[in-house]
Amino acid sequence: MAFPPAPPFAPCLEELRGFSPEKHQVEALGNIATERSIFDRATCLAELLAGARAPHEDLLRIASLAAQNEPVGLRLMHAALLALPPRQTMVSELAEFKSVNRLMERIEKKSQSGETLKQSEDWFKKKVLMLSISLQLPN
């Protein structure tokens, strides 16, 4: 296996070269890519795309950078593809959510049994723990 592996859009590399971003665009994308948290990076990327006249072109610019193995492009491609779970997963998790206590109990049981937490569960656990440290929670 070659490292880094070929991106899924490898057959389109020649086309992507036509979407190489200009310097000011690379700087704007670079500011987003420097966000340490994948969730913050995805949020900033979503804000950029929501305000863009042609969001598909911004995505092509990101893909162009990623195809050149530029860290900015790779970090933003990761944010675009992996940060948010599929809608179906989110809907089922939200439908199951009734109580912070029950959810935290379920997460704790998974942790104690050695089962790997889903990314959303790990994120939720960290947020609840940080909140409880910084602010007194009822019960």
Does the pLDDT at position 26 exceed 90?
A: yes
Contacts of 137 (CB under 8 A, 6+ apart): 131
61/50 Cα distance (integer angstroms): 16
Domain range summary for the chain, segments of one domain joined by +: 10-82, 87-134
Q: Higher-confidence residue: 121 or 130?
A: 121
Cβ–Cβ under 8 Å, residues 59 and 47: no
Mean pLDDT (whole number) for 53-61: 89
111/133 Cα distance (integer angstroms): 20
Does the pLDDT at position 135 exceed 70?
A: no
Tokens of 85: 């779970």
Cβ–Cβ under 8 Å, residues 35 and 25: no
Q: Which of 58-62, 77-81, 86-90 has the lowest mean pLDDT?
A: 86-90
Assign 73 a pLDDT band (cuts: 50, 70, 90): very high
Q: Higher-confidence residue: 16 or 127?
A: 16
30/33 Cα distance (integer angstroms): 5
Does the pLDDT at position 120 exceed 60?
A: yes
24/90 Cα distance (integer angstroms): 35
> Which ranges constitute the DSSP H helices of the chain?
13-17, 23-33, 38-51, 55-67, 71-82, 87-96, 100-113, 119-134
pTM to 2 decimals? 0.55
91: Cα separation from own chain's centroid? 18
Instruction: Identify the pLDDT of residue 134.
Output: 57
pLDDT in tens, 80-91: 886 455 555 555
Instruction: Identify the pLDDT of residue 15.
Output: 87
